[in-house]
Amino acid sequence: MITREEIIKIYGLANLHIADEDIDEVREKFSTIMDYADILKEIDKDENEILELVTDKNVELREDLIKPSVKRSDALKNSAMTEYGYFKLERVVE
């Protein structure tokens, strides 16, 4: 069973809050899934290769050329706060 500490650590890594009263429920759910995921141990042999993505070509890096990007006003359009043509936050913190 996954520990409470592990759940808290994972949510922290994911930049998510978890309420104290929800931890046990999540622990249980994740443990069930992790146990069930152990079915994959049966195929975990050294000779078996991995497959991340089926693709028909090697993705190459494009040339690093400077070209026009989105307009500044467009880039800022969906930000909660802007100031003098920049993104703005309520306060600067560490």
Partner 1 sequence: MGYKISEIQGKYLSGELRVEDFVKSNFNKIRENDLGSYISLDEENALEIARIIDEKIANKEELGSLFGITFAVKDNISTKDLRTTCASKMLENYIPIFDASVIERLKAEDAIILGKANMDEFAMGSSSETSYFGPTKNPIDKSLIPGGSSSGSAAAVAGDEAIVALGTDTGGSVRQPAAYCNIVGYYPSYGLISRYGVVAMGNTFDQVGLLANSVEDIVKVLNVVGGYDEKDPNSHEGQVDYKLGAYSFIGKKIAIVKDIESFNIDKVVLDDYYRALEDLKNLGAELVEVEIDHLKYANMIYTVLVSAEVSSNLSRFDGIRFGYHDSNYSSTQEMYIASRSGGFGDEVKRRIALGTLLLSSNNDQVRYKRGLKGRKLLRDEMERVLNDFDFFISPTSTKLPNKLGERKDDPLSVYDSGTFNVLANISSLPAISLPIREGISGSIQIISKRFEDEKLLDAAYAFERRQR
Q: Give me the least distance between CB of 64 and partner 1, in Å please.
A: 16
Report d(CA 92, CA 52) in Å as an integer.
Answer: 40
Q: What is the DSSP string of 34-68?
A: HHHHGGGGGG--TTPPP-S---SSPPPPPP-----
Q: Give me the least distance between CB of 50 and partner 1, in Å please.
A: 4
Report d(CA 64, CA 67) in Å as an integer.
Answer: 9
Task: Give me the residues that bind partner 1 (CB under 8 A), please.
Answer: 2, 6-7, 10-18, 26, 28-30, 32-34, 36-37, 39-45, 48-57, 59, 70, 74-75, 77-81, 87, 89-90, 93-94
Q: Give me the least distance between CB of 63 and partner 1, in Å please.
A: 14
